[in-house]
């Protein structure tokens, strides 16, 4: 099986009629995603790629079975869009918006957890199971980099993801499921919360983590490995090794606080837990070969 999205996952696209929404809806369909409908307030009656557009999620849910929602919605409207999806019983939500207000992202995460739902993002490229389905904004040349296989990938960085995954494929492996956790300080779902899904997935043999300085998500993975809650091999690459001390770099989540969140500390925690940490993206594939030979 895949993590999060399958070929039969019925997807609703919120913000479907906008420039990004319509463009990526077509790409999602081209990659096999079962997009059933879209939502844009005030645009009911239109169609995008032959899929009907509704005024609200509730109206769409009354006409279609929906398993997941893909949000192409500006940051200031994301909370309302997520809550609308949750109110309609949708359990899997991906939002690509970058710069969702921090206090609203905290509310989104709390609401999702109280509903037993999972929100991926914001500030993410999305989710993909190569050869099966995609929710997000992965480039059209993706087939050359993301081939089906048995390696799971979790990432905080959109730019590093393509490079690292290309090295996984070059080493003779492919990707089972890739989850873009996102680069904001409060992601809807954290690395460690995804680990049980990969642990249970019989089609995932190992997991690659693409992390960076700031936050504690990578240390939480190390803790899960030490506690025996995650038992599959892990290879990690961490961006920000050369970042100047005391500087805020790139993602809003790349902030070191209270002595935690340094790349050095993350490497130490992961290594002591049994993971292999690559010094450069090009070494990720070689380390997978070492672990899985």
**Is 128 a domain residue?**
no
Give residue 73's pLDDT. 97
**Mapping DSSP to helix (H, G, I), strand (E, B) and coil, where does residue 120 land?**
strand
Same domain? For 80 and 207 the reply is: no
**CA gap 14, 29 in Å, rounded:** 15
Number of domains in the chain: 2
**Is 127 a domain residue?**
no
Neighbours of 93 (CB within 10 A): 26
Query: Residue 231's domain spans which residues?
Result: 145-293
**Is 43 a domain residue?**
yes
Q: Show which of 122, 157, 189 is a domain's final residue.
A: 122
**Is 205 a domain residue?**
yes
**CA gap 90, 84 in Å, rounded:** 9
Angle among Cα 187, 189, 192 to the nearest 5 degrees reads: 115
Give residue 259's pLDDT. 55
Same domain? For 184 and 284 the reply is: yes
- 122, 100 contact by CB (below 8 A): yes
Taking only the tens of pLDDT, the chain with its 293 residues reads 679 999 999 999 999 999 999 999 999 999 999 999 999 999 999 999 999 999 999 999 999 999 999 999 999 999 999 999 999 999 999 999 999 999 999 999 999 999 999 999 999 999 999 999 999 998 877 777 789 999 999 999 888 999 999 999 999 999 999 999 998 889 999 999 999 999 999 999 999 999 998 889 999 999 999 999 999 999 999 987 655 565 555 555 555 555 567 899 999 999 999 999 999 999 999 999 999 97
Backbone dihedral region of 205: left (phi > 0), alpha (psi from -120 to 50 degrees) or beta? alpha
Neighbours of 42 (CB within 10 A): 8
64 in catalytic set: no
Both structure tokens of 131: 């050869």
Determine which one of 55, 64, 103, 251 is catalytic: 251
Same domain? For 173 and 240 the reply is: yes
CA 248, 287, 165, 155 torsion-angle sign: negative
DSSP H or E stretch at residue 63: helix 57-63
**CA gap 62, 40 in Å, rounded:** 16
Q: Which of 16, 20, 67 is nearest to 42 (CA)?
A: 16
Give residue 250's pLDDT. 53
Give residue 213's pLDDT. 85
Same domain? For 149 and 98 the reply is: no
Instruction: Report the CATH number that the domain containing residue 277 is assigned in CATH.
Output: 3.40.50.261
Same domain? For 73 and 162 the reply is: no
Give residue 257's pLDDT. 53
**CA gap 144, 147 in Å, rounded:** 7
Residues constituting the chain: 293
Q: Which of 105, 10, 19, 108 is nearest to 64 (CA)?
A: 10
Give residue 240's pLDDT. 73
Q: Show which of 73, 90, 122 is a domain's final residue.
A: 122
Instruction: Output the CA torsion 66→71→75→78 (10° steps).
Output: 0
DSSP H or E stretch at residue 156: none
Neighbours of 203 (CB within 10 A): 15
Same domain? For 8 and 68 the reply is: yes
Helix locations, 178-238, DSSP H: 191-200, 217-226
Q: What share of the chain is helix, strand, coil (3-state, %, to 5)?
A: 35, 25, 40
Same domain? For 219 and 179 the reply is: yes
């Amino acid at each position: 099986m895949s993590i999060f999205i399958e070929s039969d996952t019925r997807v609703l696209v919120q913000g479907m009629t906008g420039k990004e929404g319509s463009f990526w809806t077509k790409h999602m369909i081209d990659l096999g995603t079962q997009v059933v409908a879209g939502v844009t307030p005030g645009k009911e009656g239109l169609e995008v790629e032959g899929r009907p557009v509704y005024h609200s999620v509730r109206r769409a849910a009354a006409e279609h079975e929906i398993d997941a929602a893909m949000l192409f919605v500006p940051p200031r409207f994301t909370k309302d869009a997520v809550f609308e999806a949750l109110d309609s019983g949708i359990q899997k939500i991906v939002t690509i918006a970058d710069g969702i207000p921090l206090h609203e992202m905290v509310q989104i995460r709390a609401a999702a957890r109280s509903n037993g739902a999972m929100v991926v993002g914001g500030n993410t490229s999305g989710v993909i199971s190569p050869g099966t389905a995609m929710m997000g904004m992965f480039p059209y040349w993706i087939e050359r980099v993301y081939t089906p296989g048995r390696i799971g990938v979790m990432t905080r960085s959109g730019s590093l993801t393509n490079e690292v995954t290309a090295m996984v494929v070059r080493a003779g492996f492919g990707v089972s499921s890739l989850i873009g956790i996102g680069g904001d300080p409060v992601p809807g779902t954290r690395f460690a919360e995804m680990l049980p899904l990969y642990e249970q997935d019989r089609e995932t043999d190992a997991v690659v983590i693409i992390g960076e300085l700031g936050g504690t998500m990578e240390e939480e993975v190390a803790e899960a490995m030490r506690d025996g809650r995650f038992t599959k091999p892990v290879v990690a690459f961490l961006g920000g090794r050369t970042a100047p001390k005391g500087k805020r770099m790139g993602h809003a989540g790349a902030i070191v606080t209270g002595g935690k969140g340094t790349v050095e500390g993350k490497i130490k925690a992961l290594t002591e837990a049994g993971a292999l940490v690559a010094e450069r993206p090009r070494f990720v594939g070689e380390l997978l070969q070492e672990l899985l030979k």
